[in-house]
């Protein structure tokens, strides 16, 4: 599971052009400096990295089944999706 966590942090950090050490689980995408377009791109990268499908609609991100309120929430949701796949 730490592997998944590290990989996600790496993806998000790369998108935000930050060092992975600067990211904290409680930070929201906005706080990290990721806008809606950046979020769509990050989710695409996550799907590619873990070979999963993330239920995310950019029209209503807050209503999606996928919680994107914080980095920690994203990590939890991806871990769940990866576990469901296995």
Partner 1 sequence: MSAKKIKGEKQPKSERKAGKVKGKVKTATKLARAMLGRVIMGRHANGMRRVAITGMGTINALGRDVPSTLEAMREGRCGIGPLEFRDVERLAIRIGGQVRDWEPETYFNRQQIVLYDKFTQFTLLAAREAVAQSGLIFEGELGTQSGVVLGTAAGGMNTWDENYRTVYEEGKNRVHPFVVPKLMNNAACSHLSMEYGLLGPSFTVATACASSNHAMGLAFNMVRSGAATVMLTGGSEAMLCFGGVKAWEGLRVMSKDACRPFSATRNGMVQGEGAGIFVFEDWEHAVARGADILAEVVGFAMSADAQDIVMPSAIGAQRTIAGAMLDAHIRPDEIGYINAHGTGTAANDKTECAAVAHAFGHHADRLMISSTKSMHGHLIGGTGAVELLACIMALRDGVIAPTIGYEEPDPECALDVVPNEAREAKVEAVLSNAFAFGGLNAVIALRKA
**Six-digit token pair at 36?**
């809606």
40 counts as binding partner 1 under rule CB under 8 A? yes
Q: Which stretch binds partner 1 (CB under 8 A): 1-9, 11-19, 24-32, 36-44?
A: 36-44
48 counts as binding partner 1 under rule CB under 8 A? no
Instruction: List helix spans (H) across 17-70.
Output: 29-32, 36-50
**Six-digit token pair at 41?**
């791109």
Q: How far apart are CA 43 and CA 24, in angstroms?
A: 18
Shortest gap between Cβ of 55 and partner 1 (angstroms)? 10
Q: How far apart are CA 70 and CA 50, in angstroms?
A: 19
Q: Contacting partner 1 (CB under 8 A), which of 19, 60, 65, 84?
A: 60
Question: Which residues would be at the binding site for partner 1 (CB under 8 A)?
Answer: 36-37, 40, 43-44, 53, 56-60
């Amino acid at each position: 599971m730490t592997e998944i966590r590290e990989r996600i942090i790496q993806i998000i950090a790369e998108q935000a052009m930050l060092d992975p050490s600067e990211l904290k689980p409680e930070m929201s995408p906005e706080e990290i400096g990721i806008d809606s377009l950046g979020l769509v791109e990050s989710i695409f990268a996550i799907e590619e990295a873990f070979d999963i499908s993330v239920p995310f609609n950019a029209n209503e991100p807050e209503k999606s089944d996928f919680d994107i309120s914080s980095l920690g929430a994203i990590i939890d949701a991806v871990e769940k999706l990866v576990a469901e796949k296995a």
